[in-house]
Structures are given as C-alpha cells and as structure tokens.
Structure 1
Amino acid sequence: MKAKINLLRSRLMGEGNAATLARGAASSFAIRMTGTGINFITQVVLARLLGVGSYGSYIYAITWITVLGVVGKLGFDTASVRFVAAYSTQQAYGLLGGYLRYSSQVILLISIGAGLCLGLVSWIFQARYSLELLHTFWIAGALLPLSTALEVQQSRLRALKKIIQGQLPQEVLVPLLVLVGTVIAAVWFKSDLDATTAMSIRLVAVAVALGISFYLLIQVLPKEVRVSQPIFKSNEWFRAALAMVLVTGFNMVVAQTGTIVLGATLGTKQVGMYAVASKIAELLVFILVAVNSILAPLVASLHAKGERTELQRIVRIGVWIVFAISLSIAVILLIFGRQLLSLFGAEFTASYPILVVLIVSQLINAMSGPVSLLLNMTGYHGDSAKILAISATINIGLNIAITPIYGAFGTALVTAITSLIWNGSMSIIVWYRLKIIAVAIPERIFAISIKGDN
C-alpha cells in the first residue's frame, strides 16, 4: 500500500498530461470551492439586505453586463486560451507580445463603447424603469469595461497554466470584497441597502481585482516577451476571435434569455426567485469549470501535436471526474434544497421546483462538459457556433412562449431542454470530427448509439 501511495504521489508530481490535469484541476477546484462558498454567502447577505425587488434589480443589471460583456470581449477571452497557449509552447514571443497588445486595444475600445451604450439606452427608456434601476444601470455601464478586462486577464493566465493566479482575483477576491463592502455599507448607512449601492460596491471590487490581475500577468509572462519585437497577425486573430464570440454569444443567449424575458414580462421579483435557485444549482458548475480551465490549454497543445490517443485519455479522465462529483453534489442539493433556499429568506423556498429542474440541467452539462471546448480549441468552432445558434433560436422561441405563462419555472424548463439539445448535438459532432468520446457514457454504449444513428 505504501508503495502504491508513493507511486501515485510521484505520478501526480510528474510532468505528464494526466499529472498536469490533476494538479491544475485540484488547484482550480479548491479556488472554485472557496469562491463559490464566499459568493454564496455574499448572495445570501445581498438577498436579505436588498429584498426580492432590489435584489432582482441588481441581478437584472448584472445579467445585462454579462450579455454585453460578450460583445466587449469579442471572443478574445476564448481566443486567448488558444493563441497564448500555442505561442507560449512554441516560444513565439514576438507573436505572443503582438497578440496581447492587439487584443487589449480592441477589448478596451469595444467594451467602453458597450458600457456607454448601456447607459445611453437605459436613459432613453428611463420612463419604464424605477429610479433605483436606472441608477444601477448607469453604474453597470461603468463596470462593464472593467469586468470584461478582468475576464480576459483570467483567460490569459489560464493559457499560461497559472491556474491559481488566473482564478483567484475574479473567483475569490471579487465576491470577498463585495461581501465585506456590503457589510460595511449596511453598518454605515444603518438601513436597508438598495441595488445602486450594491452595484457601486461591485464596481470597486472588480477594479481592485483587475489591478492585481494585471500585476500577476506581468510577473508570469516570459521575459522574452518584453524584449521581443511584437509581430502582428491582426486579421487571423480577429477572424478567430469573431468566430469565438459567436460561440460565446449564442451560449450567452441560451443562458440569459430567460432572465431577460422574465424581467421584461413579469418583473424583477420573478428574476430574484429564479436567480436564487440558479445560484444554488451553480454549485454543480464549479467542478466542471475547474477541470475545463486546465483541460483547455492541454487540448490545444495535444491537438497541435496530433496526439489523439493521449487527448482521448485526458478527456475521458476529465469527463468522469466532473460527472461523478457533480452527481454527488446534485443528490445533496436535492435533499437539502429547501433549507438552502430558506437561507435567502422564507419567500424564496417557493423556488424549490425551479431548483430541481436547474439541477437536472446542470447534470446534463456535467455529462458532456468539454464538448464545446474541444470544438473551439481544435479549429471546429464553426460547428460549435452553428449548434449554439440553433439552440439559441429554440431557446428564445420557447422562452417567449413559455416564460410569460409559467414564470420562473418555465424559464428553468426551457434551460434544461436547450441544454439537452446542444450538449447531445455537440457530443455527436465531436465524435465525427475528432473521434473523441467526450460524454460520461461507457464507450461501448456510446459507440452502439452512434452506429444506430447511422
């Protein structure tokens, strides 16, 4: 037994792909778990202090930041994982420096424009909003460029396989600062907070995290990048990023359309009910994101080398780790779901049926977690975009038809249906394009099902 333990330890400390995946996933898991815990507490505190209406306004504005952030990033967050990882591996420091400079300039310009548009549109339609929501939107417009830059910085650090440095500012520091700031504000004002104050606190938190993230990137970049003459392949980078933004954009439509339709048709209270259930269901997500954060650069590297067998092995390990842990967490959430919802306030316990449906949706994601990643990192982002475009169209249609009638429960049901459609479709495409099984189903059963389709 001691010899086996020593062998396992030596393998984990080695330089192999499995060891890299295990260490990276473990680090990411720890950070995600810590960040998720802090964020959960933060959301509980915000929901209790703001109440359903103001909390819904806060979440509604955050949703618009998330949606417009897709435009602001223009796909350079996903593209960074691909290009930064490739150029770093190839020691192409001139290209790496050129890519970082070019992508930063484009992101800054577009994200500021998106933030200004959010503020302008909210001012034009101010008659439809409360004064609180209007002011919250204005602060959200200022927050958008900072939030966008922070996400791109995280992607760059991940591409350099600096998992801790890449995730710590956004995943842990931001929710921690929001939590501390909220408590201080509650004590200082000695009254109920509003959505505007909560958004202002988030603005400060993201600004601090962004400054730290920039410092960390400078520290880990190879010194050769600073002294090498930048080489620009602007057209190639822009085309790739544009394809990535289509993938991310359609994915965002699938994720956020329901919340937007809820807010537009039934008001922010329904948004708050759905948001709380979604926050709890997202506890299943952090293991998927943890594994994918280190799997992405590995996939890009192994595909570039043509090592398909090793790629299949690494993907299989990642998929089954994600599904096994996610299933365990899902069982716990189903058992204690009502108690968790009551932490946000007694009125939120009515969201339990919504929570059940969203848990099922997250389990579907866990079963085939890396399918989109595999297509994006191997040059088949076009297939990914097409599938997500069809899924987004279905999602919009179903949300328009179902959400106004069944409310937040209908939104959750549409989310689960859409998740099944795009995950199933991508799993099949990954097999036909790459001959990789990227779903948590025994290989023999998957092979039989594929042959049956033929």
Structure 2
Amino acid sequence: MAQSTTDTLRASPINRIKNVIRVFPAQILTILRGETDRHRAQRDAMTAFSVRCASAALMYLSQIALARWMGSYEYGIYVFVWTWVMVLGGLADLGLGVATIRFIPGYRETGETDLARGVVRGSRWLSVGVATLIMLAGLAGLYLFEPLDSHYMVPAYLALVCIPLYTLTWVQDGIGKAFAWMGLSLVPPYVLRPALLLAAMVAAHEAALPMDANTAVAAAIVATWITGVVQTVLMDRRIKATIGAGVRRYNFPLWLKVSWPLLVINASEFALQSADVLIVSHYMNPTDVAIYFAAAKTMSLILFVHYAVGSSVANQFAALYARGDHSELDRFAREASHWTFWPSLAAGVVLLAMGMPLLWLFGPQFTSGYPVMLILIIGFLFRSAMGPAEFLLNMLGKQKISAAVQVTMAVLTIVLNLILVPLYGLIGAATATSIALATGALLNSIVVSRSLGIEVAIWRNIFRH
C-alpha cells in the first residue's frame, strides 16, 4: 500500500514537472556536447533554428526599414526584382547544393576524401559559371527587348549583378550542411547578408541618397558580394582542416545525374515560394505586391522550423542510409516529425496573435494583409505536420519521386494563382498557395510511407515519441 502511494506521488503532474525542471539543464548540456548522433542532430537543429530566428529579426528590421523609407510602391518594385534574384540564383546551382548533402557524408563514410574535395570545388565552379551565364543572358535580354515597364528596368539591371554570388552562397549552404557546419552554412546568407543590407541602406539614408528601388538593389549587391566572399574564405579554411588539401577527383556524370531531379525540386520549390508574388505583380500594382509579400513572409516564419530541422537531419539521413542502419533511420525520421510540428504550431499561434502589430510596422496600409496570414497558416502547418519528408526522400535516393511531387505542387500553385488572383486578388493568391502546400505535403507523406515504410505524419507518431 505504501509503495502504491509512493508511485502515485511520483507519477503526479507536479512531480513530473519537477523532474523535467531538474533534468532539463543536464539534457541541454548533453545536446550541446553532441555525444551521440541523436544529440548532434538536436544540436544542429537548435543551431539552425537559432540562426533562422536571428535572421527573421534582421529580415524584419531590414524589410521594415526599406518599406518605411521607400514607401509601398518602390518597396513593391524591389520585392519583384529580388524575387527574381532568388529564383534564378537558386536554380543556377543545378541542384548541386542539395546533392552535396548526400554525397559528402557518403564519401567521408567510405574514406573517399578525394571525391569529397572534388564535389566541393566542382559544385562551386560549375554553379558560379552557370550563374554568370544567366546574368549575362539577362542583361542582354533586358537591353534588347525591354520586357518590363520602365520603373522596373534599372532595378532589374542591378539585381542581375547579384546572381553569381547569390548562387555561390546557395551552393555553399549545402556544402556546410553536408559537413554539419550549421553556423557556417546559415549565418552568412541568413544573418550577415541582411545585416549588411540594412547597414548599406542606413549609410545611403544618412548620405541623403534617394530611398528608392535602385538604391535598395545597389545595397543588395554590396551585401551579397561581401557575404559570398566571406563565407568562401571561412569555408575553405575549415574544409582544408577537415579533409585536407590533397588530390581532387571528379565524377560529374554521377553528380549531375543525381542533381537534375534535385534541380527540378528546387525549381518547383521556388515556384511554390514565388509564383504568388510574381503573379500578383502581373495583375496588381507594386503596392499590392508589397502588402502581399509582407503578410506572406511574416506567416512563412513558421517554415523556419521545418527548414531548420530538415537542414540539421538531412546529412544524418544520408549517413544512416550509407551504413544500412534502417531501424535507426526509421526511429530518427519519426522523431524528426515531432521536432518539426510542435514548434511550428507554437510559432503559428504566436505569429497570428502578433500579426497585426507586425504588419503595421511596415506601414499602416500593410495591416490589410492580415487575412492572407490567416489562410496561409493552414498550408504551412499541414506541411510541418509531415515532418522533413522531402529531405528524407532526397537523401535516400528517391529524388525522382520527390521531384514528381514537387512538380505537382508547382503546377498546382501556378494554375491556382492564375485562376484565383484575377478573381479574388490577394486572398486568391493565399488560397492557391495554401492548397498547393497541403496537397504536396500529403503526397510526400504517402510516398515516404509506401516507398520507405516510414510513417512521418505527426498523427501517426503522436503516441510514439
């Protein structure tokens, strides 16, 4: 009887909370030390999420400053041309940025450091070369055909100059993740670049330069090029210390064979992220573009959790697969679903609660974008509920299936935006994007379940944490 009473007391909610509080500091220290693969993945996820949070703060500060100084019309022009930089710069790496996350851990597991060194250099030079060709083709196209309205032309010329170094940071983001260097992977593009952009705009403002789209894109050139150079120098030093500076061996046929489905995935992802902004810019004026962008990017902060977890576990997925440890892979993937969904849900609640004040910071007229946030949260949370399913597929050789799912999402978001934006404006764009996100997430979950035998959907794992 006494033993039963003791067990009851120990099992009481108050005692459970006390136990959690007592062991929490030790658990945090264990994670930070990274004593096991699981702890290292959790540490990487914490690092990635911390960087993303810092990035969100800087992004908000810089974007609010831009919107306030430039006004919604000029800010909308800047959003349009920078969206094209992100799309073209992200596609120029030919999918090699993601492919390195798969290849480098495998080469290190098998001791093929010559191939690891080769894929690092080869992916960099090929990506920057393609990006330079895209820049030159874009400059020639603008000059010969003048496809844009006059107020877009000069910012578009300037924006193209960002593409080569934007692509370099994009591919090095993947290289850093492949080595599990989350800080070196994420801090330059997500913290340093927006900080430099803000600093350049402050300097321009103090110098009494016109606060328009031209000045903003010029500041982006400075920020992008400095970021790319700094990241390259730091990464070269760390790569040399990790795998040496010996012979490099190249296997471009294999790398490109693997990377082209990843390129399709990237293209589809960019379509999913950018089609709404670009289609809104076609049917509506720059002010509407600015309002939609502010609301959508505010709500998309939820996805920081998804990408932070995916970035931190992708190399571990590849390593476990290379070892043939399928039971640990299954357990690890299910656990990653919890890491993704619950923080995303908490972030969504906070963002909706603070949505109106956050939008007001951009300018009073931006609060009209709050309904966009209410609609987009459905798609974002549905995607988070499936965990890092697409990362799992890409790292385990299922990139062609993943590409098919992403293409379906991209086509769906483009078609729905083209139908709904002319009819319902910003609400139509948000609805189209949310439907495409939810559909793609569900398809990814089904594919992972049927092809890998792993249930990543949160409702399949809620009692298995």
Amino acid at match of 1:252: F
Distance 2:212 2:111 in 1: 50
Pick from 372, 389, 406: which aligns with 2:424? 406
CA deviations 1:70-121 (Å, max 9, x no partner) are 3311101111111122223333111112222222221122101111222233
Pick from 140, 148, 170: which aligns with 1:120? 140
Q: Is the 8 A contact 2:180 2:312 kept in 1?
A: yes
Pick from 60, 78, 83: which aligns with 1:58? 78
Q: Is the 8 A contact 1:85 1:301 kept in 2?
A: yes
1:85 counterpart residue number: 105
Secondary structure in 1 aligned to 2:79?
helix
CA deviations 1:204-231 (Å, max 9, x no partner) are 1111111111112112114575543222
Distance 1:260 1:426 in 2: 26
Following TM superposition, by how much is the alpha carbon of 1:9 offset from its aligned partner in structure 2, in angstroms? 5.1
Q: Is the 8 A contact 2:91 2:266 kept in 1?
A: no
- The 1:255/1:378 distance shift into structure 2, 3 A limit, reads same
Q: What is the correspondence of 1:430-441 to structure 2 with a 5 Å cutoff? A: 430-441=448-459
Secondary structure in 2 aligned to 1:379?
coil
1:185 counterpart residue number: 204
Following TM superposition, by how much is the alpha carbon of 1:321 offset from its aligned partner in structure 2, in angstroms? 2.1
2:11 counterpart residue number: none
Tell me if 1:156 matches 2:175: yes
1:284 counterpart residue number: 302
Greater shift, 3-12 or 346-355, is seen at 3-12
Q: Is the 8 A contact 2:380 2:438 kept in 1?
A: no
Tell me if 1:134 matches 2:153: yes
Pick from 95, 106, 111: which aligns with 1:75? 95
Amino acid at match of 1:412: A
Following TM superposition, by how much is the alpha carbon of 1:141 offset from its aligned partner in structure 2, in angstroms? 0.8
Amino acid at match of 2:121: R
Uncovered stretches (5+) of structure 2, i.e. residues with no partner: 1-18
Secondary structure in 1 aligned to 2:248?
coil
- The 1:241/1:283 distance shift into structure 2, 3 A limit, reads same
Distance 1:224 1:278 in 2: 40
Tell me if 1:262 matches 2:280: yes
2:162 counterpart residue number: 143
- The 1:271/1:10 distance shift into structure 2, 3 A limit, reads closer
Secondary structure in 2 aligned to 1:189?
coil
Tell me if 1:100 matches 2:93: no
- The 1:117/1:407 distance shift into structure 2, 3 A limit, reads farther
- The 1:125/1:350 distance shift into structure 2, 3 A limit, reads farther
TM-score, with normalisation over the residues of structure 2?
0.91
2:67 counterpart residue number: 47
Query: How many percent of aligned residue pairs carry the same amino acid?
Result: 26
Q: Is the 8 A contact 1:388 1:422 kept in 2?
A: yes
Pick from 351, 376, 401: which aligns with 1:333? 351
Distance 1:233 1:8 in 2: 42
- The 1:40/1:7 distance shift into structure 2, 3 A limit, reads closer
CA deviations 1:239-264 (Å, max 9, x no partner) are 11112101111121222112111112
Distance 2:143 2:76 in 1: 19
Uncovered stretches (5+) of structure 1, i.e. residues with no partner: 447-454
Q: Is the 8 A contact 1:85 1:160 kept in 2?
A: yes
CA deviations 1:148-185 (Å, max 9, x no partner) are 10111121111111111111111111111111111121
Q: What is the correspondence of 1:335-350 to structure 2 with a 5 Å cutoff? A: 335-350=353-368
Distance 2:446 2:266 in 1: 20
CA deviations 1:109-138 (Å, max 9, x no partner) are 21011112222333344364124x211111
Following TM superposition, by how much is the alpha carbon of 1:358 offset from its aligned partner in structure 2, in angstroms? 1.6
1:449 counterpart residue number: none
1:450 counterpart residue number: none
RMSD: 2.0
- The 1:84/1:125 distance shift into structure 2, 3 A limit, reads same
Distance 2:50 2:24 in 1: 22
Pick from 214, 223, 232: which aligns with 1:205? 223
Q: Is the 8 A contact 2:197 2:223 kept in 1?
A: yes
Q: Is the 8 A contact 1:71 1:110 kept in 2?
A: no
Q: Over alpha carbons, which structure has the higher Rg?
A: 2
Following TM superposition, by how much is the alpha carbon of 1:7 offset from its aligned partner in structure 2, in angstroms? 5.8
Greater shift, 116-125 or 429-438, is seen at 116-125
- The 1:137/1:282 distance shift into structure 2, 3 A limit, reads same
Secondary structure in 1 aligned to 2:353?
helix
Distance 2:277 2:253 in 1: 35
Pick from 386, 392, 414: which aligns with 1:368? 386
Amino acid at match of 2:313: L
Structure 1 outlier segments of 4+, above 6 Å: none
Q: Is the 8 A contact 1:387 1:422 kept in 2?
A: yes
